[in-house]
Structure 1
Amino acid sequence: MEGFLSELLKENITILEILESESNKDFKKHKQNIVDLKVKNSKDEVVIIEVQYDRDYSFFHRILWGTSRVVTEHLHEGDDYLRVPKVISVNLIYFDLGEGEDYIYHGSTSFRGIHKNDVLQLRENEKKDVAEDSIEHIFPEYYLIKINRFDDLAKDTLDEWIYFLKNEEIKPEFTAQGLQEAGRILAYTKLKKEDQIDYNNYIDNRRRRDSELRTKFSEGLEKGKLETAKSMKKEGISAELIQKCTSLSLDQINDL
């Protein structure tokens, strides 16, 4: 998911945690189709991203409800309005929605003059209170990704992700961030239950062997340092120099 969001938003995204939605606890259907992520972007800003996928005749109303829900749940009573979280709603759509020729749509809020057609901007003294320089970045943003409208021609790394989401396949030439890991997870989910158990056992055994090898290597390295220190001590080399050469403590050297 980090790779997909990074490609979509054109900046490195790190998922900090998956948030528990209070309003979803009583709605099993919603909980299965919505996930709220607290993420950090490349500017070290914390953003809440809501990812949802569903077939719903009232979809546009649903995504408006979703972003409103996130704002109210993460602004605590008594908090300053400046603490209203930035919310980005990412919607993966596998059904016909609206009319339009594109397959990726971005929506944001701006204020345009009725008479002058100018876009209202923040004044300099107002910019210090917000992370971004424009008013629209304060408000929720929406991404509608119409998976079913994608023509299967991957023209960039974001398209590679959309191809994967549509076809559950990764072409050898694909290089999108995080896509190979997503492919491994998909392959795992397609395994039979007994094969998943065998795979998990294999991974556990491999990790155990790797841990044992690291322990033996560390023990061997320590033993080698002690042997080196012994030889240096026999040659009359000072404990301080032995310490610099072996990284052993003075107590360890004096005990030899």
Structure 2
Amino acid sequence: MEQQDRYIRFDWAVKCLLRQKANFDVLEGFLTVLLGEEVKIIELLESESNQQSVDDKFNRVDIKAKNSKGEIIIVEIQNTRELYYLERILYGVAKAITEHISLGERYYEVKKIYSISILYFDIGKGNDYLYHGQNSFTGVHTGDRLEVTTKEKDALVHKLPAEIFPEYFLIRVNEFNKVAVTPLEEWIEYLKTGCIRSDTQAPGLAEARKKLIYYNMSPAERHAYDEHLSAIMIQNDVLDGAKLEGRMEGRLEGRMEGKMEGCIEIARNLKSMGLDTETIQKATGLLPEEIQKL
């Protein structure tokens, strides 16, 4: 029976299933393994930037959580497929910082941001499947790392800039070609193949085996999910074709037009089957008013 199990892709799960509080344990496991410390989710943050459009149909989710030291952190996860992915990552972090500090609060209320990008395309040279980056200030002549003294809540606090500035994780899913041994490798294997081993002990994956089974979805949900996979294939074909021709930037406009046409055709088919607007929106990323015009 194990071979018959089919698990929902992580990007769709984050978009549609893992936003429910009862399913936070899957996301908590993923973050715990990636960050190397226990993470507990407080809430999923909703903002204008979370709204989906034709240009942003592949999910982004902002998470408010608490780390093992009891500190509040903001985690931004996005399944990046954009042409200008580095700019997109930077923009997402800037939005997360500004959106989640209340007007009038002092700067020490700014939360530490972790940006996690799950990449399903080739981003260039590099031999690893996981890259991590953070800000630090190094002496040009001495090579030492700068430590900043700040006054927070009437106390002097010594911090490295890396404790304040965002940290970035780039997961190059397609570059993972190992036999999964560690919990992190098991998670990357699931991100790439959708497979979860039956004896997994990785935090979050045992819960995912119970909650992300494809056949547990309703027929309508399964159909919307399958159309989502078709949309991904359409976009990948466009990106790959542009790359082969060596004219990626020159074909940006045509890529967007082709992606739009593919989404509209999928939405039209789903609408003819009687699916509701919300489900169609999740599958295609089209706006409700665009769906209603079909």
What is the TM-score of this pair, normalised by structure 1?
A: 0.69
Q: Name the SS for the 1:105 alignment partner.
A: strand
Does the Cα contact within 8 Å between 2:50 and 2:61 map onto a contact in 1?
Answer: no
- The correspondence for 2:34, drawn from 8, 11, 17, is 8
Change (3 A) 1:114 1:96: same
Identical counterparts, % of pairs: 43
Q: Which residue of 2 aligns with 1:157?
A: 183
The letter of the residue matching 1:5 is L
Distance 2:90 2:150 in 1: 30
Change (3 A) 1:110 1:12: same
Does the Cα contact within 8 Å between 1:22 and 1:73 map onto a contact in 2?
Answer: no
Q: Which residue of 2 aligns with 1:83?
A: 109
- Taking the TM superposition and a 5 Å limit, the aligned residue runs for 1:114-153 are 114-123=140-149, 128=155, 133-153=159-179
Q: Deviations over 1:4-31 (max 9, x none)?
A: 1101111111111111122344746436
State which drifts further: 166-175 or 23-32: 23-32
Matching of residue 111 in structure 1 with residue 137 in structure 2: yes
Distance 2:85 2:196 in 1: 29
The letter of the residue matching 2:189 is Y
Change (3 A) 1:82 1:31: farther
Q: Name the SS for the 1:90 alignment partner.
A: strand
Deviation at 1:183, TM superposition (A): 2.0
Q: Which residue of 1 aligns with 2:213?
A: 187
Q: Which residue of 1 aligns with 2:64?
A: 38
Which gives a bigger RCO, structure 1 or 2 (Cα 8 Å, sep 6+)? Answer: 2
Q: Which residue of 2 aligns with 1:223?
A: none
Q: Deviations over 1:93-124 (max 9, x none)?
A: 11111310011100100001112222111348
Structure 1 residues without counterparts, runs of 5 or longer: 197-256
Structure 2 residues without counterparts, runs of 5 or longer: 1-26, 223-294
Distance 1:27 1:43 in 2: 37
Deviation at 1:189, TM superposition (A): 5.7
Number of aligned residue pairs: 195
Change (3 A) 1:90 1:158: same
Q: Which residue of 1 aligns with 2:123?
A: 97
- The correspondence for 1:178, drawn from 197, 204, 208, is 204
Change (3 A) 1:195 1:140: closer
The letter of the residue matching 1:182 is A
Distance 1:23 1:8 in 2: 24
Q: Name the SS for the 2:212 alignment partner.
A: helix
Distance 1:99 1:126 in 2: 42
Change (3 A) 1:194 1:107: closer
The letter of the residue matching 1:157 is P
Deviation at 1:62, TM superposition (A): 0.6
Distance 2:160 2:119 in 1: 29
RMSD: 2.5
State which drifts further: 22-31 or 99-108: 22-31
Distance 2:220 2:98 in 1: 44
Q: Name the SS for the 1:61 alignment partner.
A: helix
